[in-house]
Chain A
Amino acid sequence: MKKIFSKPAALSGETRHYCPGCTHGIIHRIIAEAIDELGILGRTIGIAPVGCAVFAYNYFECDMQEAAHGRAPAVATGIKRVLPESVVFTYQGDGDLAAIGTAETVHAAARGENITVIFVNNCIYGMTGGQMAPTSLIGQVTQTTPYGRTRENQGFPIGICEMIATLEGASFVKRCAADSVTHVKDAKQSIKTAFQRQIDNAGFSIVEVLSTCPTNWGMTPEKALEWLRDSMIPRFPLGSFKE
């Protein structure tokens, strides 16, 4: 019998708590595959955020730390400075990274901190039940923008990759998506490249992955993927911002 598919070693067997149709699971898997393929599981340390991925420490097989909301890049900095030979990654959502943790994100990037940030952007706060995120689109209806996000009231969404790419300390900045096989394959390759940059001591690397939230968007998983393609990608264009 030939084994043609298996769980990556970097992924634990724990049942994940994500909603049906959510793309967090896919993103976890491609990170784990990248870790396996690079052979770095034993020296990888991950940092879980506050938000839907708060339990990520249960889902990876490497050593993990759970950070306070938004502080993952600071926690990662502390770890990496103590263990410079380790591979340190944070896994953060849009509220965690681009609202409460903007300072930590920007300054880790500016320092050229030799860590990898996986930024899962789904334009909404998931864990707390669907409130406006810093990346919510103009017009997007959420629990806290019941009449839609407006430029007059809440202002504009933040393009994190565009912003980080301006910083000298950032070595690899790329936006991907988890909506299709092609995009997922590209996201995995990008995560692998980001880890490789860290291994090469090239500085800060970030891979933003556009993700869905069928539950809080109020859509079927299929519709959610369409919305990602039709509404998110035009505002958050995919591609490399810095290589």
Chain B
Amino acid sequence: MAEKVLMKGNEAIAYAAVHAGCRYFFGYPITPQTEIAAYMAKNLPKAGGVFLQAESEIAAINMVYGAAGAGARVMTSSSSPGISLKQEGISYIAGADLPCVIVNIMRAGPGLGGILPSQSDYFQATKGGGHGDYHMIVLAPSTIQEMVDITVEAFDLADKYRMPVMILGDGILGQMMEPIELNIAKTPEIIAKPWATTGTQCKRKKNIINSLNTNAPELEQWNIARQKRYDEVIANEPRAKTDIEGADVIFSAFGTSARICKTAIELLAEKGIKAGLIRPITLFPFPVYAYKDVKKPIIVVEMNHGQMVEDVRLAAPNVRVGFYGRSGGMVPIPADIVDYTLKFINEGLSEIV
């Protein structure tokens, strides 16, 4: 049997990133993600890489821009307020078609908010965040093992589509420990990056990493080409974990909320109600396919005031969609989800509570 070790979610991401060939990390401390930086500070030098604590999140994301442009597998991580600061750089990275991995271990907002877990950066992560028409691939793990698997995949996806990939976790996933397989099965898919600015060696034409174009028709063509790549992502990459066989009511939730829903499903079963779960793993592209044949009402559970619920309503326009959420670092309690579900079923409740 493969060796299993207990690891914190944050450390698991960092561990997997090193396995994935990430050798450069630029970050800035913020709770509750700092263990990622601490792990990298300790382990990247041993792996022949570089950890650098930047003077700000803004500097860190721009260091990522430079390193990604130079062809490296590179990562930064932060938590909500720090991710807001990185938005400028993320937009430039998207605009210059650079691959990188950005981790957001979400905490409560808005503003300084609080350090406790939250999922209130869903809009920011999936709908843009910074300026301009762009997307990141957004991956939402819900176990520590999945954080490992998704991190390795994140680097591959970033390189394949030349775009930033965000791993969207929350304070609980970052801080909790679960066993992971020490041996990571997935081999990173390292591909050539002939576009990188590595120095011409006077043997090729120069490469330029750039998002600027003052020629409007040309810039539009750049944007169209990028949108075509997004179309490929939408066609090829959406994924969800679905367990809705025979269910009378279906929960939809990502990350920690999905785990809490599972406990609620166990409690509902004791009351004779069969509930199912659709857990999006990619938040962009949103796994619309998973909702296509759903005939039963859906309850979206989030640690925010209703963000993913909009995408679920778009994906499942013909069924009743309810919402239950907590915010500010408060976490939904399974018993409360059960109460809401009973009301939702019995009273036709559909509005946000």
A–B contact at 8 Å CB threshold (below) = yes
Q: Is the CB of A75 within 8 A of B69?
A: yes
* B59 surroundings in chain A (CB, below 8 A): 71, 74, 77, 103-104, 107
A45 on interface, CB distance cutoff 8 Å? yes
Given A71-B89, A75-B65, A77-B52, A64-B70 contact (CB < 8 Å): no
Instruction: Report the bound CA distance from A61 to B222 in whole Å.
Output: 23
| Residue from A44, A86, A104 having most chain B Cβ neighbours under 10 A | A104
- B206 and A63: CB pair below 8 A? yes
Contact of B70 with A83 in the complex, beta carbons under 8 Å: yes
Residues from 45 to 62 in B contacting A, C-beta threshold 8 Å: 50, 52, 54-56, 58-60, 62
Chain B residues within an 8 Å CB radius of A83: 70, 198-199
Could you tell me if B63 and A75 are in contact, using CB atoms closer than 8 angstroms?
yes
CB distance A81 to B24 under 8 Å? yes
Contact A63 B66 (CB under 8 A): no
B199, A78: Cβ atoms closer than 8 Å: no
Interface pair A42/B56, CB less than 8 Å apart:
no
Q: At the interface, is chain A mostly helix, strand, loop or mixed?
A: helix
Q: Does A66 contact B (CB under 8 A)?
A: yes
B258 within 8 Å of A (CB atoms): no
Q: How far is the CA of A80 from the CA of B200 in the complex (A)?
A: 15
Judging by beta carbons under 8 Å apart, are A82 and B199 in contact?
no
Q: Place the interface of chain A in its size category.
A: 35 or more
Interface segment among B141-149, B208-216, B310-318, B339-347: the answer is B208-216
A223 sits at the interface (CB 8 A)? no
A76, B65: Cα distance in complex, Å: 9
Which residue of chain A lies nearest to B197 when distances are taken between CB atoms in the complex? A63
Q: How far is the CB of A3 from chain B (nearest CB, A)?
A: 20
* B interface, CB within 8 angstroms of A: 24, 26, 50, 52, 54-56, 58-60, 62-72, 74, 88-89, 92, 96, 197-203, 206-212
Q: A45-B198, A78-B68 are in contact. List 18 more A-B contacts (CB 8 A).
A: A42-B202, A45-B199, A58-B208, A60-B206, A62-B206, A64-B209, A65-B96, A71-B58, A74-B54, A75-B62, A78-B24, A78-B69, A79-B197, A82-B50, A82-B72, A86-B198, A103-B56, A104-B55
